Amino acid sequence: MNKVLLIIQREYISRVRKKAFVVTVFLVPALLLAMYAVMYLIYKNSSELNATRTVKVIDESGQFSGKLQNKSNVKFENSNKPLAEARKELKKHKDYILLYIPKNYVGVKSVQLLSEKKPNITTSMAIERQLNDIATNNNMVARGIDTAALKDIKSNISISAKEVTETGDKESNVGALYAVGVAGAIIIYLSLFIYGAQVMRGVIEEKTNRIIEVIVSSVKPFQLMLGKIIGVALVSLTQFLAWIILSVVVSYLANKYFNAPQSPMLGLFAALKGVPFGYIIGCFLFYFLTGFLLYSALFAAVGSAVDSESETQQFMFPITMPLLFTYLISVSFLAQNPDSSLAVWLSMIPFTAPVAMMVRLPFDPEWWQVALSMGLMIVGFIFTTWVAARIYRVGILMYGKKASYKELVKWFFYKE
């Protein structure tokens, strides 16, 4: 056991002392702070960003004159000048926009928007929306439809989702839950690949340098693999805990100094208020740790079977396929149907559970499903570690021989 602890200590200290580790720890909170700062600057300069543009309207059809309504970013003014003359005025007033509606606009189905400076997409869409609404209204009047009655019966329903619990109703922002679930799935997917690849590269490097032959003369291959995996797991947990703590501090400071009434950041914090972050972060750390132990054991076995990183591709794809499949459908299907049969089954299978369960957690899955999934994750990583260790003990001492799946099966059944 002491030998395993020494290997864990060596892996942990050698990695956390690297400049890349320190830079990465502070980079994520810095990016988060930058995001808050950008949101604050956008809010502070919203008047400049949404400056009102004057739109000169030449309506030869007579269908839109006097019906276009001024908005916060668009001001309409009718023009009786000929098109050629109005075009020349655009050079004198570069902020002006000229809206030209030809007499036969229905036939050509095209209305021109002319300007010296290109209008932004918000302005263009606002003008287009008004034109379509007016044209639709004109068509309904032409067909004898009472547009006033239609306007009166038109409803504008706003849904306020609430969760019914034993302690009372709770606000439930579905958009925030969806975003948190997808974000958790993306983070855990990337983390398993990044830290798992670190284990694999470490094994290949030690095998290539023949350092591993010296180490296995003192410790058993299983102890070496276990120490390396746990060492990298502790490094990743240190990094995640640092990110969580620094992110909370950054969010607190941003809420205190970058906030203002009607700021988009205020809406962001309000939307996230109902999300059970303590529960989700706790489950995230569990699924990351067990998922990492499961996949990194397989990555270590792959690293032991090859002599260079370029030879790992044939073994990596089948291993990562379940995780990749779950990641791809997490946004399009799982997050929209968190209680579907497919989502439940994927959250039970240890190879797909880290991503699938992270998507489901914000939507309160049944407690027994979470407990069963966690139990299967523990059984899964113990089993895969045992399988990977049997391949690893032979692979690390094999040189100059290209491994195949048949060879891996032989290595697995070799006796001690």
d(CA 332, CA 330): 6
Percent of the chain having pLDDT more than 70? 87
The full length of the chain comes to: 416
pLDDT for 375 equals: 93
What token pair was written down for 105? 């606009």
Strand residue runs (E) in 194-278: none
Q: How many CA atoms lie within 13 A of 132 on its CB side?
A: 6
d(CA 78, CA 80): 7
Please, which pLDDT band fits residue 374 given cuts at 50, 70 and 90?
very high
pLDDT for 61 equals: 82
In this predicted structure, the answer to whether residue 73 has a pLDDT above a threshold of 60 is yes
Question: Are the C-beta atoms of 271 and 285 separated by less than 8 Å?
Answer: no
pLDDT for 259 equals: 64
Residue 317, Cβ density class (10 Å: 0-12 exposed, 13-18 middle, ≥19 buried):
exposed
What's the average model confidence in pLDDT over 377-390? 87
Q: Tens digit of pLDDT for each residue in 198-217?
A: 888 888 887 777 777 777 67
pLDDT for 207 equals: 76
Q: Nearest 5°: phi and psi at 100? A: -110, 115
What's the average model confidence in pLDDT over 327-349? 85
d(CA 358, CA 184): 6
Q: Nearest 5°: phi and psi at 72? A: -65, -30
In this predicted structure, the answer to whether residue 49 has a pLDDT above a threshold of 80 is no
What's the average model confidence in pLDDT over 102-119? 75
In this predicted structure, the answer to whether residue 260 has a pLDDT above a threshold of 70 is no
pLDDT for 271 equals: 63
pLDDT for 267 equals: 61
In this predicted structure, the answer to whether residue 147 has a pLDDT above a threshold of 80 is no
**What mean pLDDT, rounded, does the chain reach?**
80
Question: Are the C-beta atoms of 348 and 372 separated by less than 8 Å?
Answer: yes
Task: With H, G, I as helix, E, B as strand and everything else as coil, classify residue 56.
Answer: strand
Task: Provide the whole-model pTM.
Answer: 0.67
Task: With H, G, I as helix, E, B as strand and everything else as coil, classify residue 162.
Answer: strand
Question: Are the C-beta atoms of 11 and 228 separated by less than 8 Å?
Answer: yes
Percent of the chain having pLDDT more than 90? 4
Report how far apart, in Å, the C-alpha atoms of 250 and of each of 35, 180, 247, 302 are.
Answer: 11, 18, 5, 40
